[in-house]
Amino acid sequence: MEKLKGSILANLPISTLNWKRDLIYFDGPLLSEFISSAGEIYLKYWCDCDDDSNRWMLFKIKEQDRLRLVLGEKSVYEVIKSQPDDFVFFADENIKTITYTMVISTDIPNSYIPEEDSYLDIEDYKEDSDAISLVFENEWEFKALQDVYRKFTQVYDLLFVANKTNGSLGATLPWQGGFSTVHFYNKIKEFIPKPKQSNLNAIHYASPGYMKISSESEMANLTLKAIQDYATNKNTIDSNCLELRKRIKELELNKIPPKEAVSTFAVDSLCIQFFSQLKNDLIGITPQWLNSFVSSDFERCKILMAHFRRLRSFHAHLSNKSVRVVTKVIK
């Protein structure tokens, strides 16, 4: 092994480190993520060995850099070079002992620095349970970031209620104007047990930024699948919804009395055709659940159209790369 230029330490001067996940694995871990009892994140990178010991480099990493590392947007080389401290620790480990050495960053042996193109593959990443991470760059108005969070949460809420709860909405909304939509999403959140509700856990506003959203893992995964499915079938879904919107406007269903709108929608063949197509196009919401949740096809259609708009809005952020989700589900 290479001779290190640094200070030998009796102990590692970091509060207790707990393993979180392996990021590179080949016949054993080569790059692993640890978290200290103070909440700081460290990466442990294998860099050398001899007949007795394995040598590991241990260094701190900011969360915004860790997320971009697992997304494949930053390399291991870059996060070592840009880590927040001006030193790293080396650990020479064997079965019986561990020897620690603190080394100034500029004195790290060149052979221990990975290649500049040392990127990770998101397919190998084991995501956090019960949390979704988003990353973003550039200057954002706080209201715009709130809207990103709100759109994800509203998609999640509807899918949770449609797949994990029983019962009906218990109220007939006119679905004419924006008030009904706002009231609807406020109402369905009441169906979700508080520990399973989606909440904003953390946000780092300054660029490069990130956002963490707590959520129940199964339904969060379904939410991501619904967003990806919309992206895959975007042209078909958008076209059908446009025709449905045009037909509703032609019939003035958003202006006539609500009861008349319900009855008119129910007997119009084009409305039923476009509505049936929308039911088939959007995953995660079954006709059986829709039928049990509200009492008319007009209401069911309006729920799906509101859901569509939120899928489209969230996908728009993804498509221009202004927001990325740390997941292998979104392509």
Residue 39 pLDDT greater than 90, yes or no: yes
Distance, CA of 179 to CA of 246 (rounded, Å): 21
Residue 309 pLDDT greater than 90, yes or no: yes
For position 134, what pLDDT does the model report? 94
For position 175, what pLDDT does the model report? 85
In this predicted structure, which of 4-13, 204-213, 246-255, 265-274 has the lowest mean pLDDT?
204-213
* pLDDT bracket for residue 46 (50, 70, 90): very high
Residues 40-58, mean pLDDT to the nearest whole number = 95
For position 139, what pLDDT does the model report? 78
Residues 152-171, mean pLDDT to the nearest whole number = 94
Q: What is the mean pLDDT of the chain?
A: 93
Q: Which of 117, 113, 95 is nearest to 59 (CA)?
A: 113
Residue 114 pLDDT greater than 80, yes or no: yes
Instruction: Note the Cα 168 to chain centre separation in Å.
Output: 29
Residue with the two structure tokens 């640890």 = 34
* pLDDT bracket for residue 127 (50, 70, 90): confident
Cis bond before residue 208 (omega within 30° of 0): yes
Residue 171 pLDDT greater than 80, yes or no: no
In this predicted structure, which of 125-129, 146-150, 319-323 has the lowest mean pLDDT?
125-129
Rg (Cα) of the chain, in Å, rounded? 26
Q: Find out whether 159 and 223 touch, Cβ atoms under 8 Å.
A: yes
For position 206, what pLDDT does the model report? 79
Predicted structure pTM score: 0.88
For position 208, what pLDDT does the model report? 84
Q: Which of 87, 99, 85 is nearest to 55 (CA)?
A: 99
Residue 274 pLDDT greater than 90, yes or no: yes
For position 35, what pLDDT does the model report? 95
How do residues 217-227 score in pLDDT, each as one tens digit? Answer: 999 999 999 99
For position 320, what pLDDT does the model report? 83
For position 124, what pLDDT does the model report? 77
Residue 28 pLDDT greater than 80, yes or no: no
Alpha helices in 109-216 (DSSP H): 142-164, 178-189
Sequence spans of domains, the chain: 7-124, 132-325
Alpha helices in 209-281 (DSSP H): 217-232, 234-250, 258-267, 269-281
CB atoms within 10 A of CB 220: 25
* pLDDT above 70 coverage of the chain, percent: 100
